[in-house]
């Protein structure tokens, strides 16, 4: 495993936030707790889970937008640290969920896309800068006339394209896509998904594709990682995860997808999970999923299951599988 | 003639009068809803799906007004009701649940007092009976420890629990119709499954009709007997779930279905609908979808399409259907 060179290699990543005030009220929120995965050049890893499971925090921490509490991130074989992270910024970029709040309303499109070019000094003449911006706009399906307009003049889908163009400006090799289509209507969502796919094919970019919509994630990804309460509970090839989930959580998650097909819907058996996700401030001891799991036993209460490889490339964290 | 439908919406038009001009949110929609059925209204943002339902209940914002049409509930036009009559009507005959339960529940009152209020307004039960009914409703919607919950405040409950409370309030007076406006959009997948299951369950038990408004074709396929697809404030097509999904006859519906990723053996590229949604301030003369439609003809730009009966279970408003029918008729003549 370790000899193989991965583009992104995350090992034992932890991100704890301290919440509450004062000395006595201080609580530790384990948003990400010991997460490891790899992503190869030009590959897409899907990351799914429900709200509060830590999937967004994983994306941000691995980019050092938050300082990790523990763990290492290797990019192209080199260890990323707080000191040298600026050297990696050109290679690792992010596209955010909300195309409204992630674009500065006082900047024109060319300012927004030009900013990374300015910061990384990626042009020598003004003309070159303008050409590059026009090129980027065309690449994401907008046209160069859009450059002098402001973000509010665009629809949600177009704004997301601007966000993508900004990420692409520095020719990254890896992009964290944090719920990039969740805020969009179905017909627009499909346009943006295709844009991501085209760019990957053309430019060979690797994606960490974070989303809660399993249909979108399985469409985009080669492999999928499923998170629950700060941990990865299952990781493996997308097709296998969807067709034969192993972890009880993945199993119910997949059975819960409303299928856009009346015939499937009629014959489907939903595995309904009892109750809600526990608060990450009061994490259950042992397996974090045991409070909602129908297979839970004493063992699950006592010790936390580690990720084990139970079939080639498939890792599951469950005592009973 | 069959029995009168429970709810008949006829040629409903609703506009918002804003500084920028008249926003025509709903432009002549008609449908019937029979007792005990689940009707799905699907469409994207701005398609008029929510506004059409708010118009039925007359809960539009100040700038909004129904400009034309009728809403008949058991044959009576409720658009002619006085506000006092309407207040009696809402909640007891037709009630509604919204997407975000947090903004619909009052944060300063306990769950119990809000639930009791909903029951008190519409019935003449005494205090004990009201309390008992509140408790019964919470149990019915699967809220655990209902006695404790009655004393709690909305912020103390999770999103799924709050939506259950909303459903309990909406159903407390046993309405004939429940309008569910994106009831699970704000919820996680596993919680969404719980709520959908609960709604199906309650529908069987209590027998009310449901109008399910959503953008999610999955939820629609799961829940609905009949489906209305809306675009630009108009009905594109209307039919049984099977007809809409397996025999779509409007280019917009076809486009929507092609836009959703599916689980399939080999990777299939999505076929998105090009362009962006129609501007409700400047609706085109012809079909609202024409500018994004691959099969648009000259007539589509000039004249809005009429609703054409495809079969007993299916109506579609697309000129291509008319063209096809004319061609078929011609072939028949020649043969």
- What residues in chain B have their Cβ under 8 A from chain A's Cβ atoms? 44-45, 144, 158, 160-161, 188-194, 196-197, 215-222, 241-242, 245-246, 255-263, 267, 269-274, 276-277
Q: Please check whether residue A275 lies inside any domain of the structure.
A: yes
Which among A223, A212, A216 has a CA at the least distance from the CA of A37? A223
Q: Please check whether residue A96 lies inside any domain of the structure.
A: no
Tell how far CA A57 is from the center of its chain.
9
Cβ–Cβ below 8 Å for A215 and B158 = no
**Dihedrals phi, psi of A283, to nearest 5 degrees:** -65, 135
pLDDT computed for residue A137 by the predictor: 95
Cβ–Cβ below 8 Å for B263 and A272 = no
pLDDT computed for residue A155 by the predictor: 87
Q: Which of A220, A258, A264 is the closest to B216 by Cβ?
A: A258
Q: What does chain B come to in residues?
A: 335
Cβ–Cβ below 8 Å for B277 and A242 = no
Q: Can you tell me whether residue B168 is helix, strand or coil?
A: helix
State the Cα torsion B103-B109-B113-B119 to the nearest 10°: -30
Q: Please check whether residue A152 lies inside any domain of the structure.
A: no
Q: Would residue B36 be called left, alpha or beta, if left means φ above 0 and alpha means ψ between -120 and 50 degrees?
A: left
pLDDT computed for residue A196 by the predictor: 96
Whether the pLDDT of residue A2 is over 70: the answer is: no
Whether the pLDDT of residue B19 is over 50: the answer is: yes
pLDDT computed for residue A45 by the predictor: 98
Average pLDDT over residues A102-108: 93
Average pLDDT over residues B35-64: 94
List pLDDT tens digits, range A54-98: 999 999 999 999 999 999 999 999 999 999 999 999 999 999 988
CA A213/CA A197 separation, integer angstroms = 17
pLDDT computed for residue B55 by the predictor: 95
Q: How far is B34 from chain A (nearest CA, A)?
A: 20
Show the tokens assigned to B38: 């689940």
Q: Please check whether residue A44 lies inside any domain of the structure.
A: yes
List pLDDT tens digits, range A142-201: 988 899 999 999 988 999 999 999 999 999 999 999 999 988 888 889 999 999 999 999
pLDDT computed for residue A93 by the predictor: 96
Show the tokens assigned to A218: 């399985």
pLDDT computed for residue B108 by the predictor: 94
CA A63/CA A94 separation, integer angstroms = 8
List pLDDT tens digits, range B159-203: 889 999 999 999 999 999 999 999 998 888 888 999 999 999 999
If one counts the domains in chain A, the total is 1
List pLDDT tens digits, range A293-313: 999 999 999 999 999 999 999
Q: Please check whether residue A277 lies inside any domain of the structure.
A: yes
Parent domain of A38: 8-91+172-316
Residue numbers in B near A218 (CB within 8 A) = 261, 263
Whether the pLDDT of residue B227 is over 90: the answer is: yes
Q: Please check whether residue A160 lies inside any domain of the structure.
A: no
- What residues in chain A have their Cβ under 8 A from chain B's Cβ atoms? 50-51, 155, 157-158, 185-191, 193-194, 197, 212, 214-216, 218-220, 242-243, 252-253, 255-265, 270, 272-273, 275-277
Token pair 């596993």 is found at: B190
Q: Please check whether residue A111 lies inside any domain of the structure.
A: no
CA B205/CA B182 separation, integer angstroms = 22
Q: CB of A147 within 8 A of CB of A137? A: yes
DSSP for A105-170 reads TTSBHHHHHHHHHHHTT--SSHHHHHHHHHHHHHHTT--GGGGGSBGGGS-HHHHHHHHHHHHHTT
Q: DSSP class of residue A67?
A: -
Residue numbers in A near B185 (CB within 8 A) = none
Cβ–Cβ below 8 Å for A273 and B192 = no
Element (H, E) at A191: helix A186-203
Residue numbers in B near A158 (CB within 8 A) = 276
pLDDT computed for residue A34 by the predictor: 93
pTM across the whole model: 0.90
List pLDDT tens digits, range B104-152: 899 999 999 999 999 998 888 899 999 999 999 999 999 988 999 999 9
Give the percent of chain A with pLDDT over 90.
79
pLDDT computed for residue A3 by the predictor: 52
Q: Please check whether residue A138 lies inside any domain of the structure.
A: no
List pLDDT tens digits, range B255-310: 999 999 988 877 889 999 988 888 888 899 999 999 999 999 999 999 999 999 99
CATH code for the domain of A32: 3.40.50.300
Return the residue of A nearest to B143 by Cα: A275
State the Cα torsion A181-A184-A187-A189 to the nearest 10°: -10
Residue numbers in A near B192 (CB within 8 A) = 256, 258
Residue numbers in A near B272 (CB within 8 A) = 187-191, 193-194
Q: CB of B27 within 8 A of CB of B12? A: no
ipTM score for this prediction: 0.86
Q: What does chain A come to in residues?
A: 321
Q: CB of A276 within 8 A of CB of B160? A: yes
CA angle A275, B213, B67 (to 5 degrees): 145
Q: Can you tell me whether residue A248 is helix, strand or coil?
A: helix
Cβ–Cβ below 8 Å for A215 and B260 = yes
pLDDT computed for residue B186 by the predictor: 84
Confidence of residue A1 (pLDDT cuts 50, 70, 90): very low
Residue A226 or residue B99, greater confidence = A226
pLDDT computed for residue B250 by the predictor: 96
């Amino acid at each position: 495993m370790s000899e193989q060179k991965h583009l992104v290699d995350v090992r034992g990543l932890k991100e704890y936030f301290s919440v509450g005030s004062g000395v006595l009220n201080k609580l530790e929120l384990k948003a990400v707790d010991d997460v490891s995965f790899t992503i190869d050049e030009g590959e897409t890893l899907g990351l799914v889970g429900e709200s509060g499971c830590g999937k967004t925090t994983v994306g941000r921490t691995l980019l050092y937008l938050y300082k990790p509490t523990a763990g290492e991130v290797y990019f192209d074989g080199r260890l990323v640290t707080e000191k040298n992270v600026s050297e990696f910024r050109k290679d690792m970029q992010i596209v955010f969920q909300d195309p409204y709040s992630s674009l500065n309303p006082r900047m024109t499109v060319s300012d927004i896309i030009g900013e990374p070019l300015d910061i990384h000094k990626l042009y020598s003449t003004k003309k070159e800068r303008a050409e590059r911006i026009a090129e980027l706009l065309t690449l994401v399906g907008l046209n160069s006339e859009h450059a002098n307009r402001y973000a509010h003049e665009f629809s949600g889908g177009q704004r997301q394209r601007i966000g993508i163009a900004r990420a692409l400006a520095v020719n990254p090799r890896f992009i964290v896509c944090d719920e990039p289509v969740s805020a969009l209507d179905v017909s627009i969502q499909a346009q943006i998904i295709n844009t991501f796919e085209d760019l990957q094919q053309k430019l060979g970019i690797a994606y960490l594709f974070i989303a809660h919509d399993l249909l979108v994630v399985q469409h985009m990804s080669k492999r999928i990682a499923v998170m629950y309460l700060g941990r990865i509970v299952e990781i493996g090839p997308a097709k296998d995860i969807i067709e034969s989930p192993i972890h009880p959580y993945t199993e119910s998650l997949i059975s819960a997808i409303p299928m856009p097909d009346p015939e499937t819907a009629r014959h489907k058996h939903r595995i309904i999970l009892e109750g809600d996700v526990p608060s990450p401030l009061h994490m259950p001891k042992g397996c974090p999923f045991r409070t909602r799991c129908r297979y839970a036993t004493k063992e699950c209460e006592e010790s936390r299951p580690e990720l084990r490889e139970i079939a080639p490339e498939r890792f599951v964290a469950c005592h009973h599988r | 003639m069959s029995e009168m439908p429970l709810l008949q919406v006829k040629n409903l038009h609703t506009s918002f009068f804003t500084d920028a001009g008249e926003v025509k949110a709903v432009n002549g929609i008609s449908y019937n809803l029979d007792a005990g059925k689940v009707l799905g209204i699907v469409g994207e943002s701005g398609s008029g799906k929510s506004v059409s339902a708010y118009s039925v209940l007359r809960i539009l914002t100040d700038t909004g007004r129904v400009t034309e049409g009728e809403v008949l509930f058991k044959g009576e036009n409720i658009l002619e009701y006085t506000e006092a009559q309407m207040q009696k009507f809402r909640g007891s005959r037709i009630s509604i649940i919204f997407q975000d339960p947090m903004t619909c529940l009052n944060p300063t009152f306990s769950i119990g007092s809000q639930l009791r209020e909903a029951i008190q307004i519409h019935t003449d039960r005494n205090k004990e009976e009201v309390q008992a009914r509140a408790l019964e409703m919470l149990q019915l919607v699967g809220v655990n420890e209902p006695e404790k919950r009655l004393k709690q405040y909305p912020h103390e409950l999770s999103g799924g629990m709050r939506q259950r409370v909303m459903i309990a309030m909406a159903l407390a007076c046993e309405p004939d119709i429940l309008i569910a406006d994106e009831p699970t959009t704000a919820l996680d997948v596993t919680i969404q499954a719980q709520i959908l299951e609960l709604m199906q369950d309650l529908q069987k038990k209590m027998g009310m009709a449901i109008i399910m408004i959503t953008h999610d074709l999955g939820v629609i396929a799961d829940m609905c007997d009949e489906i209305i697809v809306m675009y630009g404030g108009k009905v594109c097509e209307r039919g049984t779930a099977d007809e809409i999904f397996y025999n779509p006859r409007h280019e917009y519906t076809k486009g929507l279905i092609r836009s959703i990723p599916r689980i399939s053996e080999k990777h299939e590229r999505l076929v998105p609908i090009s362009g962006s949604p129609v501007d409700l301030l400047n609706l085109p003369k012809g079909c609202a979808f024409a500018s994004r439609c691959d099969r648009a003809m000259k007539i589509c730009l000039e004249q809005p399409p009429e609703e054409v009966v495809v079969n007993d279970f299916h109506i579609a408003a697309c000129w291509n259907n008319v063209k096809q029918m004319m061609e078929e008729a011609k072939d028949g003549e020649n043969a």
